[in-house]
Structure 1
C-alpha cells in the first residue's frame, strides 16, 4: 500500500545513509552483474560438488559414500541456480551458454564473457576446496 499512498498523496520516501551507500556501490552494468552472478553460481555449484568429493575421498568412505557426492552436486547445482537465475539465467556451464546462443536465446556478444566468468568461478571453487583439504589425505 505504501506505493499507492505515495503516488496518490505525494509522500516522499526518506532515504537513509545505508540506501545512499548501497546506491553508490551498485553495479550499473548489466553485463558485469550477469557475469558476476554466473561466477558466483558456478563457484557455489563446484564448491559443494568438489567439496563432497574431497570429503569422501580424504575420509576413505568413513564420512560419506557415493550418495554423498551425488547429494553434494545436487545441492550445489540447486543453490547455484537459486543464486544466479534472477540475474543471469543460471547457465552455470559454458556448454549451456553456447547451446542457448545457437538457439538464438542468448546474444553471441555475451558468450565470451559468460564462459570466462564461469571458468573463473570453477577455478576459484576448486582452489578453495584444495586449500581446505591440503595435506589431509590422498587428493
Structure 2
C-alpha cells in the first residue's frame, strides 16, 4: 500500500464519514431542518451509515481505518506498519476537518437561522451564571454538531466510557472485519463495523456521545473554533482531551487483547 493510497483513501473516506455523521447531527439539531428533533435513533443509525459509506469508499484504497484508534489497534496487532501510522493519522485529521466544513456548507442557512434565533440566544447561560464551570462549561449551542460532550462531566468516568466503547469497536474489527491482507476493513467487515457502531451508540453512547474516534471529535472541534458562526459560543477545549485519550487507549488495549486472546 503506497503513501498516496493511504493519504487519498483516508482523507476522502474520513471526510465522507464526518460529512454524513455530522450531517445527521445538524439535521436533528438545527431549526429549519426537516429532521429537527428526530432523536437519538436517527443519530445512531446516521453514524452507522456514515461509517458504512466511508469504509466502502476507502476500503479498496487505504484499508479504511478512518480512525486513529483503529490504526493503533492494527499496528499493535501487526496488520499495519508503524511507519505508516503518522500518515494515517494526519490524513484522517485532514479528512475530518474537510467533512466538518462540508456540513457547514450544506447547512449554512440553517446554522445562521439557528444561531440568530432569539430563543436560542436567550437560552444560553450568561457569564455570571456560569460560576460552576464543571457543571456549566462554555460550550456553544451548535458544538454538539461538531464534537462530543458528556452528560455528566467526570473526567475519569468519561475516559473509561470512551475506552470501553472503543475496545468493543476495535476488537470487533480485528476479529470480524479485516480484509484478506489484514491491514484494513474488508467488504463484509464494513457492514459489520457499521452495525457495531450503531450498537455502541445505542448501548454505550449515552454518557459521552461515543466519540470512539479521536479525529471525529478533534477535527470538527477545530473547525467549530475557526468558523465565523454568529453566537457560536465556546468549543469546550477543557473536555477535548477525553475523546482523544480514551479512544487511543481503547484501540491500544484492543490490539493487545487481540494478540493475547485471539491471535
Kindly state the Cα deviation for residue 59 of structure 1 after the two structures are TM-superposed: 3.4
Deviation at residue 136 of structure 1 after TM alignment: 3.2
Which residue number in structure 2 is paired with residue 103 of structure 1?
Answer: 77
Structure with more of its chain in helix, by fraction? 1
Q: CA deviation at 1:33?
A: 1.6
Counterpart Cα distance in 2 of 1:74 and 1:88: 20
Report SS of the residue matched to 1:137: helix
**Could you tell me how far 1:82 is from its partner in structure 2?**
0.5
Structure index of larger Rg: 1
**Among residues 102, 105, 112, which one is paired with 1:128 in the alignment?**
102
Task: Report the alpha carbon displacement of residue 131 of structure 1 after superposing the two structures with TM.
Answer: 2.8
Alignment of 1:68-83 (within 5 A): 68-83=42-57
State the match for 2:114 in structure 1: 137
Distance in structure 1 (CA, Å) of the matches to 2:9 and 2:71: 14
Please report the RMSD computed on the Cα atoms of aligned residues, expressed in angstroms: 1.9
Provide, for residues 54-86 of structure 1, a one-character-per-residue CA deviation record: whole Å limited to 9, x for no partner: 010003886232222112111110011101111
CA distance in 2, matches of 1:60, 1:97: 38
Aligned equivalent of 1:39, options 3, 8, 11 = 11
Secondary structure of 1:32's aligned partner? helix
Distance (whole Å) between structure 1 residues aligned to residue 91 and residue 68 of structure 2: 10
Which is bigger in relative contact order (C-alpha 8 A, separation at least 6)? 1
Q: In structure 1, how many angstroms separate the alpha carbons of the residues matched to 2:34 and 2:99?
A: 24
Give how far 1:89 is off. Answer: 1.1
- Please give the secondary structure, in 1, of the residue aligned with 2:113: coil
Measured after TM superposition, the shift of residue 122 of structure 1 is 0.3
Residue of 5, 8, 27 corresponding to 1:55: 27
Q: Equivalents in 1 of 2:33, 2:99: separation in Å? A: 22
Tell me, in whole angstroms, the C-alpha distance in 1 between the residues paired with 2:113 and 2:91. Answer: 29
Distance (whole Å) between structure 1 residues aligned to residue 105 and residue 33 of structure 2 = 21
Query: Please, which runs of 5 or more residues in structure 1 have no aligned partner?
Result: 1-28
> Does 2:2 align with 1:30?
yes
SS at 2:114 equivalent:
coil
Normalized against structure 2, the TM-score is what? 0.40
